[in-house]
Amino acid sequence: MTDQPLVLGIETSCDETGVGVVRGHTLLADAIASSVDEHARFGGVVPEVASRAHLEAMTPTVDRALSEAGVTLADVDAIAVTAGPGLAGALLVGVAAAKAYALGLGKPLYGVNHLAAHVAVDQLEHGPLPKPCVALLVSGGHSSLLLVPDVASDVRPLGATVDDAAGEAFDKVARVLDLGFPGGPYIDRAAREGDRASISFPRGKYEDGTYDFSFSGLKTAVARWVESRERAGEPVPVADVAAAFQEAVVDVLTKKAIAACRDNGVSHLLVGGGVAANSRLRALAQERCEAAGIQLRVPRPKLCTDNGAMVAALGAELVGAGLKPSALDLPADSSLPITDVLV
């Protein structure tokens, strides 16, 4: 095996079948098959639908990634797969496929943590991670602040959501406003035409001295505000509601992320996860990091959402660190703790 391992990464934690090919810190391929359109009519991800879609998409997506990378399965040095957290049935499809490839090829298997992979993927764009850094991960299932001394072996939780994750709140508010699913991109677009100062929505756990988040109360406040306008027969200013809601979310996220950096003496902040594609979050994070003298790292939007490249990136990091691979009886763990980078 070379100093730059060639790793195939498989991601199936939710509704995207992602397969990436990475050599060291170089991205060679990032193939994705999404089942989001199949979930849109339900207003959220249906686990059984997602699992069946992964089954259908797995082999074609692997083939597409290998073709894009210009390599064959025989060239691969290791297989990495998301072992958790995520939807149990969806995870099982990816883990089973990865085991089959690893066993058939006689290659080592690395079961990795989905959240740690969101951190590792930034290395494909901006090079090796500073040690330590603070990571703010925001998606449909997770809103977490992490201290990362070493993404391959030492990831420490600082705070997390106590109820709805940020992405989940975006989906629910988009539904209230009769926008599309997933809600993040629709809210982001609508907010560009709105006034973020027009409505004062609550900021959960804003000054509580923790690194935890809460977005359930905000989601409810938006729904009640919209309902009160509708009962009164008044038009709902969708753009203003979207902008004010979005500002409430990103205000809390960035405030706590900056506090986590300062309190831990860390000079680099990484923002990842699907909500990191949000234009206002990226802008406010940049503004506040510059004011605080903190370096901000945010991957390009395609690498923020769930993808196989991030799994391959973490796999390459683990191989490069000489860590022992996972056993072939590797389980899929829907509630895998962030402290377990490698299963």
Residue appearing with tokens 């500002």: 247
Residues 145 and 244 in one domain: yes
**Residue 223 falls inside a structural domain:** yes
**Residue 326 falls inside a structural domain:** no
**Residue 296 falls inside a structural domain:** yes
CB-based burial label for 309 (10 Å; 0-12, 13-18, 19+): buried
**Residue 295 falls inside a structural domain:** yes
In this prediction, residue 1 carries a pLDDT of 43
Residues 18 and 76 in one domain: yes
Residues 186 and 262 in one domain: yes
Residue 88's nearest CA partner among 343, 341, 335, 339 is 335
In this prediction, residue 35 carries a pLDDT of 73
Residue appearing with tokens 């025989």: 74
Question: Do the beta carbons of residue 90 and residue 14 sit within 8 Å?
Answer: yes
Domain interval for residue 186: 131-301
- Could you tell me where the DSSP H helices lie in the chain? 36-40, 47-69, 88-105, 114-120, 123-126, 166-176, 183-191, 216-231, 238-263, 279-292, 301-304, 308-320
Residue 109's nearest CA partner among 94, 90, 128 is 94
In this prediction, residue 322 carries a pLDDT of 96
Domain tally for the chain? 2
Peptide bond between residue 331 and the one before it cis (omega within 30 degrees of 0)? no
In this prediction, residue 38 carries a pLDDT of 75
Give the type of residue at 270: L
Question: Do the beta carbons of residue 203 and residue 209 sit within 8 Å?
Answer: no
Token output for 110: 């690395």
Residues 95 and 116 in one domain: yes
Residue 248's nearest CA partner among 272, 288, 292, 213 is 213
Collect all residues with Cβ–Cβ distance below 8 Å to 213 and sequence separation of at least 6. Answer: 143, 159, 160, 161, 162, 165, 166, 204, 205, 252, 253, 256
Residues 159 and 292 in one domain: yes
Residues 198 and 288 in one domain: yes
Residue 191 maps to which CATH number?
3.30.420.40
Provide the annotated binding site.
Answer: 114, 118, 137-141, 171, 184, 188, 278, 306
Give the whole-angstrom CA distance, residue 69 versus residue 58.
17
**Residue 334 falls inside a structural domain:** no
Residue appearing with tokens 């409430």: 248
Give the whole-angstrom CA distance, residue 285 versus residue 236.
29
Count, in order, helices (H) and strands (E) of the chain: 12, 10
Residues 135 and 164 in one domain: yes
Provide the annotated binding site for Fe cation.
Answer: 114, 118, 306
Give the mean pLDDT per block of 10 residues along the chain (343 residues).
Answer: 84 94 97 80 77 94 98 98 96 98 98 96 96 93 94 96 93 95 94 97 94 96 97 97 98 98 98 94 98 97 94 97 96 95 95
**Residue 96 falls inside a structural domain:** yes
**Residue 1 falls inside a structural domain:** no
**Residue 328 falls inside a structural domain:** no
Give the whole-angstrom CA distance, residue 109 versus residue 7.
10
In this prediction, residue 41 carries a pLDDT of 72
Provide the annotated binding site for substrate.
Answer: 137-141, 171, 184, 188, 278
Q: Does pTM surpass 0.75?
A: yes
Residues 171 and 116 in one domain: no
In this prediction, residue 170 carries a pLDDT of 96
In this prediction, residue 321 carries a pLDDT of 95
Token output for 281: 């979050």
Please state the separation of Cα 145 from the chain's center in Å: 12
Residues 142 and 92 in one domain: no
Residues 103 and 11 in one domain: yes
